[in-house]
Amino acid sequence: MATTTATVSISSSDLTGDALALTTTTTLTKAADPTVGLQQTTGVARKYYASAAANTLLSAADYATATQATKVYIKNLSGTKTDTVLVTVDGGAGTDLNLGKLYGGDWTFFPWDGVNDINITTSAAGMTVEYLVIFE
């Protein structure tokens, strides 16, 4: 059985009136059985985008259904903060729902229901996006 844990640490000496130190860890498990770890992955992959445009990064047809646990990692590999990647989920009828914008070097990790495509829009030509899907 695979065991995969995800940890996020956030710290700052001056964000609030007191020092901030937050760390949280979770074990990635199947939806129907929290004693069994997620066992499949795309592996870490990269996509290069020659032009600034909207593209499908992850097609729902290739992954789980709403009854399975799926986690997604996406990183904007640009070293330039103004090169952005807008991450959206296909909302149907030609509309996307914005999840957020990744500036150069930013990343995100989130659960995905596998029902709607995950799309990205790059702000400049020659950008590379790194991603990983961990699923049942």
Give yes or no for a contact between 81 and 127, defined as CB atoms under 8 angstroms apart.
no
Phi, psi (5° rounding) for residue 84?
Answer: -115, 155
Tens of pLDDT along 112-134?
988 899 999 999 999 999 999 99
CATH C-level class of 39-135: mainly beta
Tokens 């996509």 found at: 47
Going from the C-alpha of 102 to that of each of 17, 33, 50, 98, the distances in angstroms are: 27, 33, 18, 11
- 93 band by pLDDT with thresholds 50, 70 and 90: confident
The residue-averaged pLDDT of 23-42 equals 92
Domains of the chain, residue spans: 39-135
**Residue 84 is which amino acid?**
T
CA distance 130 to 135: 17
Model pLDDT, residue 64: 62
- 1 band by pLDDT with thresholds 50, 70 and 90: low
